[in-house]
């Protein structure tokens, strides 16, 4: 256990997959958790399931690409939970496609959700952390934010941006007692994003996740809880001298 009892966390995109696993892990660690997702019905269902294991879970609907919706959703969660100690910027999208085949709309969508969403959420939550002189922000990047991969140009570009923002923000907020780190998931299964990606890869005759996992030193794909464990650590005082880092959780797929 990482000693997060009594802390208040917001996790974006927490209705499914990695976000849900993060919310569940933070609850286990003693946090009260706010789920922010554009799919209100799915978020409510997730919250109801998580409440069965104890802990306080609040829900707010919002599209992170909209600053107005983010402000309203954060206000709702803050009213339900109190001052926010932990922000996990997890919401994101992935559309597989080579750069020359990527539409302008798909290109912009990656940045609107993956990058602008982080910008809006951080601006809505971080000032309170600065005022309280404490807080932890964990951004969900990707191992593809460290190495370009064919057919993922737009996604890679957005995740490279997240790592850059993480490093810059860490230098800006460090003197105020706020730490900013990122996690770079590798080949993670049991997520909607992975399922959608696998459909496109199959159509292109590309190997699936389990076939690709045989090239990973640990010989398995990752699970959402593998990411949740790292987020819990980075959110805790056990990581109180770590900031500006992006920790790859890849089973050895990517070493940096």
- 246 three-state secondary structure: strand
Domain ranges (residues) in the chain: 8-190+223-247
What pLDDT score was predicted for residue 59? 98
Strands (DSSP E) found in 15-65: 32-37, 57-61
User: Do 165 and 140 meet the contact criterion of CB atoms below 8 Å apart?
Assistant: no
Long-range contacts of 66-70 (CB under 8 A, 24+ apart): 66/120, 67/120, 67/123, 67/124, 70/117, 70/120, 70/121, 70/124
Q: What are the pLDDT digits (tens) for 73-117? A: 999 999 999 999 999 999 999 998 899 999 999 999 999 999 999
- Known active-site residue 241: no
**Pair of tokens at residue 237:** 């005082």
What pLDDT score was predicted for residue 204? 67
152, 155, 210, 241: which one is catalytic? Answer: 155
pTM above the 0.85 mark?
yes
**Does the pLDDT value for residue 151 go beyond 90?**
no
Measure the CA–CA gap between 65 and 37, rounded to whole angstroms: 11
Give the CATH number of domain 8-190+223-247; options: 3.40.50.720, 3.40.50.20, 3.40.50.300, 1.10.443.10.
Answer: 3.40.50.720
Q: What are the pLDDT digits (tens) for 195-235? A: 666 666 666 676 777 788 888 999 999 999 999 999 999 99
**Does the pLDDT value for residue 50 go beyond 70?**
yes
């Amino acid at each position: 256990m990482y000693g997060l009892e009594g802390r208040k966390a917001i996790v974006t995109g927490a209705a499914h997959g990695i976000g849900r696993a993060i919310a569940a892990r933070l609850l286990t660690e003693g946090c009260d958790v706010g789920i922010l997702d554009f799919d209100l019905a799915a978020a409510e269902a997730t919250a109801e399931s998580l409440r069965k294991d104890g802990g306080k879970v609040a829900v707010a609907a919002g599209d992170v690409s909209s600053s107005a919706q983010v402000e309203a959703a954060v206000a709702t969660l803050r009213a339900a939970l109190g001052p926010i100690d932990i922000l996990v910027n997890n919401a994101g999208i992935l559309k597989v496609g080579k750069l020359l085949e990527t539409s302008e709309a798909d290109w912009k969508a990656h940045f609107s959700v993956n990058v602008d969403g982080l910008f809006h959420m951080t601006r809505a939550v971080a000032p309170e952390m600065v005022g309280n002189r404490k807080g932890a922000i964990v951004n969900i990047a990707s191992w593809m934010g460290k190495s370009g991969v064919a057919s993922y140009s737009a996604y890679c570009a957005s995740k490279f941006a997240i790592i850059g923002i993480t490093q810059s923000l860490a230098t800006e907020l460090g003197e105020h007692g706020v730490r900013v780190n990122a996690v770079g998931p590798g080949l993670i299964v049991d997520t909607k994003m992975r399922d959608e990606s696998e459909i496109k890869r199959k159509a292109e005759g590309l190997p699936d996740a389990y076939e690709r996992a045989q090239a990973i030193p640990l010989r398995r794909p990752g699970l959402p809880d593998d990411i949740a464990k790292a987020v819990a650590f980075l959110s805790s005082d056990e990581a109180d001298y770590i900031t500006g880092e992006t920790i790859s959780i890849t089973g050895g797929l990517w070493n940096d």
